[in-house]
């Protein structure tokens, strides 16, 4: 009477089965997190978005078409300055071009390295657009919105708002720049602020013969008949 009937469908608990199920659950959760980070969140909130001057100048990382639409609608952005978020002619660049064309937003494409280094004349061109009232409001962005965008905004703060270098660097750090991980951003500011200021005032280009980013991704297919 005290014995329990045997249940043939009952499964004995085992470590292998537990471990397999735990790995499965962990994998599902990890995929969900990745989907949120890379697909859902960028559409809900523009990546690394910030206000530099309300109504005039904004900053961000690379944006989805939906995020571009949100910023254009909410902030009235008329011009986007891309500091090198995409390889020239890549599918992601073409998608951005199509999106902005559909929104009636002008796009300026400039070429800088991901650590903010490159031809200082590109920053001159960016700053001319960023301060042109005929093109405002302007959104400036790169891939993460931290290094190239951080440098462009720092140049703006120092040259047009007369901010100190350390103050401009602190502003960059609020948007993800880490001076220990990337000391080149501060080096760019220390080296090129005065030449950029002079170029903006005189219209003369800065003499530069250093490296520049490639126009196309490595191993890009070559058009037939090209050398």
| Model pLDDT, residue 219 | 42
| Model pLDDT, residue 215 | 67
| Model pLDDT, residue 23 | 77
Helix or strand run (H / E) with residue 60: strand 57-60
Cα 221 to Cα 223: distance, rounded to the nearest angstrom? 7
Local mean pLDDT, 10-residue blocks, the chain (227 residues): 51 66 63 44 75 98 96 97 92 96 97 98 98 98 98 98 98 98 98 98 98 66 36
One-letter-per-residue 3-state SS of 3-32: CCCCCCCCCCCCHHHHHHHHHHHHHHHHHH
| Model pLDDT, residue 42 | 43
* Three-state SS at 194: helix
pTM of the predicted model as reported, rounded to 2 decimal places: 0.77
Q: Which CATH number fits domain 49-202: 3.40.50.300, 3.90.190.10, 3.30.300.130, 3.20.20.70?
A: 3.90.190.10
| Model pLDDT, residue 15 | 74
Give the residue extent of every domain in the chain: 49-202
| Model pLDDT, residue 64 | 96
């Amino acid at each position: 009477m005290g014995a329990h009937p045997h249940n043939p469908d009952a499964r004995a608990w085992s470590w292998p089965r537990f471990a397999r199920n735990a790995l499965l659950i962990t994998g599902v959760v990890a995929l969900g997190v990745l989907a949120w980070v890379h697909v859902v969140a960028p559409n809900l909130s523009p990546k690394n978005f910030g206000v530099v001057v309300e109504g005039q100048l904004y900053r961000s990382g690379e944006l989805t078409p939906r995020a571009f639409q949100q910023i254009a609608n909410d902030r009235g952005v008329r011009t986007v300055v891309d500091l090198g978020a995409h390889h020239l002619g890549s599918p992601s660049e073409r998608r951005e071009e199509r999106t902005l064309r559909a929104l009636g937003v002008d796009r300026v494409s400039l070429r800088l390295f991901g650590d903010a280094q490159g031809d200082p004349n590109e920053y001159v061109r960016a700053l001319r657009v960023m301060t042109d009232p005929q093109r405002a409001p302007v959104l400036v962005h790169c891939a993460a919105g931290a290094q190239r965008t951080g440098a462009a905004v720092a140049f703006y703060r120092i040259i047009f708002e007369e901010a100190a270098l350390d103050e401009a660097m602190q502003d960059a750090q609020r948007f993800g720049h880490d001076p220990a991980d990337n000391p080149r951003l501060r080096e760019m500011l220390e080296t090129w602020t005065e030449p950029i200021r002079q170029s903006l005032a005189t219209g003369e280009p800065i003499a530069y013969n250093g490296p520049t980013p490639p126009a196309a991704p490595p191993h890009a297919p070559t058009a037939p008949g090209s050398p």
